[in-house]
Structure 1
Amino acid sequence: MSVDGYKLSPRAAEAEARRNGTVQNAVESAPVIAGGGEMFEWFGGGQRAAGMNVTPETAMRSTAVWRCVTLIAGALMSQALGVFRVTDKGELVREYGHVYDRFLSIEPNEEMSGPTFVENQAIQMLLRGNGYGLMRQARNGTLTDIDFYFAARVLPFRSVDRSIWYRFTNDDGTTEDHHSSYVLHFKGPGLSVDGIRALSPISHHAQSVGISLATRDYEAGQFERGLMTNDFFQFPDGVSKEQRADFKEYLRKKAQGVANAHNPLLLEKGAEWKRVAVTAKDAQLLELLQYSVVDVCRIYGVPPNMAGETSGTSNWGTGVEQQTIGFDRWTMLPHKKRIAAEYTRKLFPVVGARVSPFVVWWDDDFLLSGDSKAIAAYLRAALGGNQLPGWISQNEARRKVNLPPVPDGDEIYQPTGAPAAPGQPAADTEEEPTDAQAA
C-alpha cells in the first residue's frame, strides 16, 4: 500500500486501512472530551478527602508523596535503557550502537533526553496510573520521534472492531487519533473498568493522601496563628464580656503570626500566661504525622526510612541494607519490567508467530548502590578470585567501572583443569601420555 507515492510499512499500511475504514464511525460515537484535557480528571482525580481536594497535582504537596514518587522515578531514570539480543541459549547480549538507542537513552524527542522521558513517564504512572508516548514515523515506517503526553491529555477507546485507539489532545486544542501500535502505554498495576487503563494510585488512596495534606495544613496553621491551642490566660478576678473581646483583639494584633512570635505581651490585673507542656492532642498530632508518612510509603512500596521516617527503623547497617535490597527487588523490579516490556512489544512487535530476537532492558547488572568494598569483592569473584572459575572478562569488569579496555582482556579466567566456559578455549591440562607416545 502506498500514499502519495510513498510505500508504507506493513504496520503503517494496516493503520492507514483502519483509519479509512471502520474506525471513523467508532471515533464519532466515542465518548471523547475534546480540548482542554488538563481541565478534566479523567482518571478519578478531584476527590474530597479529610477536607482536602485530592488530585495528582495537590498530592505532590505532600512531602511523603513527593519523596516516594521522585525516589522511584529517579531510580528508574538513573539506569540506562538499552537494546539486548537474546541468544539461542537465552543469554542477553547488549547491542551497543543500535538505531533505537537514540530513543531509549539519548533523545526520544527534541524537548527531552532519554532519562528525562523515563522519569516523567514514571511520575505519570505513579500519580495517575498511566503514561503515554506517541511514536512518530516517517512514510516509510522509520521511527523519528517519541513524543511525551500528559495522561490527562490522552483518552483511550475501542473501535467497532474492538481494537484500541488513543485520542491525543494537543496544546492548541486539536486532537489526533492513533492506533495502539503507534502508542507507548506505560501502565501501573491493575486495570480500570474499561480494560485499557491502569488504576490511579492517588484516586484509590485519596483518604490516605488527604490525611497527609490535612495534617500538614493544620501544622502550618499553628505557625500562622502564632499561639498554640494549649496556651491559656488566667485572670484571678475574672473579666467582663467586653474585656474578653478586647483582650482577644489585643492578642490577634500583638502575638499571632510568625512575625510577632517574639513580641512581649503586657498583661494586666494579675493575668497569667500558662501553657500545658504536651497535651494528648499534640501527641496524637505527632503520631498522625508519622502515620501519614508510613501510610503513603505503604501505597508505593517504599521503606519509610527512604522517605525520611526513621523513628521505627533500625540504625544497624544490615537492616537498612536489607530494606534497600527489598526495595530494588519488590518495588523497582515490577516497574522496570512493565516499562521495558512495553518498549519491547512496540519497538519490536511480534509478526505472526515470529518473535524478534531483540528486547529492551535496563543496564542494571551491576549494583550501583554498592560501596567500594562491595564492588571490589564482586569484581574479584567475577574475575575468578581464589582460583575459582570466573564469569566475566577483564574488559567487562573495566567497562562496569568506566575504564577503557586493555589488549587481550576479553578472555574469562578458568583455573587449570576446570571445564571451559561457553565460548572460551579449554584451559591447559596435563595429559597422561598414550602408548604410542610412550613408544
Structure 2
Amino acid sequence: MSDIVNGYRLSSRAAEAARGRGGQDTGPAIENAVSSAAIATADPGDVFEWFGGGQQAAGMTITPETAMRSTAVWRCVTLISGALMTQELGVYRLSPKGEFIREHGHPYDRFLNCEPNQEMTSAVFVENIAIQLLLRGNGYGLIRQARNGTITSIDFYFPARVLPYRSADRSIWYRFTNEDGTTEDHHASYVLHFKGPGLSVDGIRALSPISNHAQSVGINLATRDYEAGQFERGLMTNDYFQFAGEVSREQRAAFKEYLRKKAMGITNAHNPLLLEGGAEWKRVAVTAKDAQLLELLQYSVVDVCRIYGVPPNMAGETSGTSNWGTGVEQQSIGFDRWTILPHKVRIAGEWTRKLFPVVGARAPQYFVWWNDDFLLSGDSKAIAAYLRAALGGNQLPGWISKNEARRKVNLPPVPDGDAIYSPTGEAPAPEPTSTGDDALDDALPADDKDNPDAA
C-alpha cells in the first residue's frame, strides 16, 4: 500500500495504521484532514471544557481565564513559561559513544528556534504552549505538510478549540475548530500534544491544574475581592450607627442613601459625616476574621505556589523567607531541577516523538533537547571558576577547548583554540603557555585578563 493518501504523505505511524493490523491492507483508513470521522469516545468533562464551561469555588467562577486574575497564578504561570521560552531548543544527535552532538543548521531548527508559523516566533510558541499546559494541562500544535511530506508550519491552537477522541478502531484523533467555525480532524501523528502531569479518564488528555485545584484558586480570588470590596465601600463592615429614638423605614432608607453618597468609596473616604437626631457612629473591636485577613491572603498565595511547585519567595511571598544567603540560592536551584526540568522533558519528548518517530524497534538517531547550560544563570565568579576548571586549571585535565569557553560567554573563536588541554604527566613548566590557568586568560578579552571574575 502507498504511504500517500489523497495526495498527502503519511507519517510512519499513520502509514502503519493505514495498512491495518497484521499486515492486512484495509485501504486509506488514515487521512490528515477528515471532517467526517466519527467520535467514539470523549470524556464528558473535556467536552464541557471544550465548550467553555467553568466551575464554582468559594463563590467564584473558576476558569483558566479567570484564574489568571490571581496575581499568584499569574506569577507562577509566567515565571515557568518565561523560564522555558528563554532556553533554546535544538536538534541533537546521539553518537555511537553516547555523546550529545548539536546539529546546527538542521531543517527543523526553523520551527524550534526561529518561526514555527507566520504568526509567532518559536519563543512565543513555547511560552504559549507552556501557559496552556500550566492552566489546562494540555497544549497543541498542528503539523502542516506539503504534498511531498515536507513540514511547512506548526500551527498553535488553543485547547478550547481542540477536542481529542478515539475513533472506532481505538486510534487517537483530534478535532480542530478554526476561527471561521470549520472543523478539521487530524490523526495523532500530525498533532503535537504537550501534556502536563496525569491523565484523564479516557487516557488521552492530561489533568487540568486549574480544574483540579479550583478551590485554592477560588479562595485566592475571593479573598482579594473581599479586600477590594472594603476599599470600594469605604466603611468597614464592623462600623455601625446607633440612633437615640426609633427610626422609621423611610428614615433608614434615606440614611443609607446618604451614606452611600457621602461616605462610601475611595473618593469620599475622608469626608466628615453630619449625623442628626442623636445618631452615633461606633465601631466594633477588630474581629478575628479581620485580623486574619492578611494571613489568609498569604496562605492563599502559598497554596497556589504549591500547585505549580514554585518557591513562594519567587512568587513575591517573602514574609517567611529571607532574601539573603544560600537559602534562596538553593531554592532557585531546586526550582530549576524539580519544577522546570519536568516540563522540559515533557515538551522536548513530544517534539522528538513527532518529528523523529520510532520506526520498528530502532530508536531515532536524532532528538530534540534544550540548550540548558546552567552558566546562563550564574554570576561572574561562578562562571570564572567553572571555566578555569573546564579549561584545565591547576594542571588538571580539561574537558572543553578555549573556543568552547569563549562561545559560552558569547565571544568569537580564536585561531588554534579548539584543542583541549591535557597534562603530559611530567612536571609542569614554570610558565606554561596557553594551558592550565593561562588558558582562561587566552579565552577572555585583553581587558578582562586581570580580573578573575570577569568570565
TM-score normalised by structure 1 residue count = 0.87
CA shift, 1:78, in A, is 0.5
Residue of 14, 30, 33 corresponding to 2:40: 30
- Aligned-partner SS, 1:28: coil
- On the 8 A contact 2:39/2:165 being kept in 1, the answer is no
CA shift, 1:5, in A, is 10
Q: Cα distance 1:274–1:416, how it changes in 2: closer, same or farther (>3 A)?
A: farther
Paired amino acid for 2:403:
N
- Aligned-partner SS, 2:372: coil
Are positions 1:129 and 2:137 aligned together?
A: yes
- On the 8 A contact 1:22/1:159 being kept in 2, the answer is no
Paired amino acid for 1:240:
V
Q: CA RMSD in A?
A: 2.8
- Aligned-partner SS, 1:332: helix
C-alpha separation in 2, matches of 1:410 and 1:46: 58
Structure-to-structure mapping, 1:295-374, within 5 angstroms: 295-374=303-382
CA shift, 1:342, in A, is 0.5
Residue of 212, 219, 223 corresponding to 2:227: 219
Deviations, residues 59-90 of structure 1 (Å, cap 9, x unaligned): 11111111111111010001010011111121
Are positions 1:114 and 2:122 aligned together?
A: yes
Unpaired segments ≥5 residues, structure 1? 419-426, 428-439
Q: Cα distance 1:75–1:2, how it changes in 2: closer, same or farther (>3 A)?
A: closer
Structure-to-structure mapping, 1:252-263, within 5 angstroms: 252-263=260-271
Counterpart residue number, 1:103 = 111
Q: Cα distance 1:76–1:22, how it changes in 2: closer, same or farther (>3 A)?
A: closer
Structure-to-structure mapping, 1:27-426, within 5 angstroms: 27-30=37-40, 40-42=48-50, 45-234=53-242, 237-238=244-245, 240-241=247-248, 243-268=251-276, 271-275=279-283, 278-417=286-425
Unpaired segments ≥5 residues, structure 2? 21-26, 427-434, 436-455
- On the 8 A contact 2:133/2:194 being kept in 1, the answer is yes
Identify which range, 397-406 or 271-280, moves more after superposition. 271-280
CA shift, 1:387, in A, is 2.2
TM-score normalised by structure 2 residue count = 0.84
CA shift, 1:395, in A, is 0.9
- Aligned-partner SS, 1:290: helix
Paired amino acid for 1:169:
T
Paired amino acid for 1:30:
A
- Aligned-partner SS, 1:20: coil
C-alpha separation in 1, matches of 2:4 and 2:328: 60
Paired amino acid for 1:258:
I
Q: Cα distance 1:60–1:87, how it changes in 2: closer, same or farther (>3 A)?
A: same
- Aligned-partner SS, 1:190: coil
- On the 8 A contact 1:26/1:158 being kept in 2, the answer is no
CA shift, 1:232, in A, is 3.5
C-alpha separation in 1, matches of 2:65 and 2:7: 44
Deviations, residues 113-142 of structure 1 (Å, cap 9, x unaligned): 000000000111111111110001111111
Deviations, residues 195-239 of structure 1 (Å, cap 9, x unaligned): 11100111111111111111111111111111112334455x455
Paired amino acid for 1:302:
V
C-alpha separation in 2, matches of 1:353 and 1:382: 38
- On the 8 A contact 1:108/1:146 being kept in 2, the answer is yes
Deviations, residues 164-222 of structure 1 (Å, cap 9, x unaligned): 11111111111111111111000000000001110011111111111111111111111
Identify which range, 12-21 or 314-323, moves more after superposition. 12-21
C-alpha separation in 1, matches of 2:152 and 2:72: 38
- On the 8 A contact 1:133/1:185 being kept in 2, the answer is yes
Deviations, residues 225-257 of structure 1 (Å, cap 9, x unaligned): 11112334455x455345544333221110101
- On the 8 A contact 1:52/1:213 being kept in 2, the answer is yes
Among all aligned residue pairs of Structure 1 and Structure 2, give the percentage whose two residues are the same amino acid. Answer: 78
C-alpha separation in 1, matches of 2:239 and 2:413: 70
C-alpha separation in 2, matches of 1:368 and 1:274: 59
C-alpha separation in 2, matches of 1:43 and 1:333: 32
- On the 8 A contact 2:38/2:168 being kept in 1, the answer is no
- On the 8 A contact 2:8/2:146 being kept in 1, the answer is no
Q: Cα distance 1:294–1:2, how it changes in 2: closer, same or farther (>3 A)?
A: closer
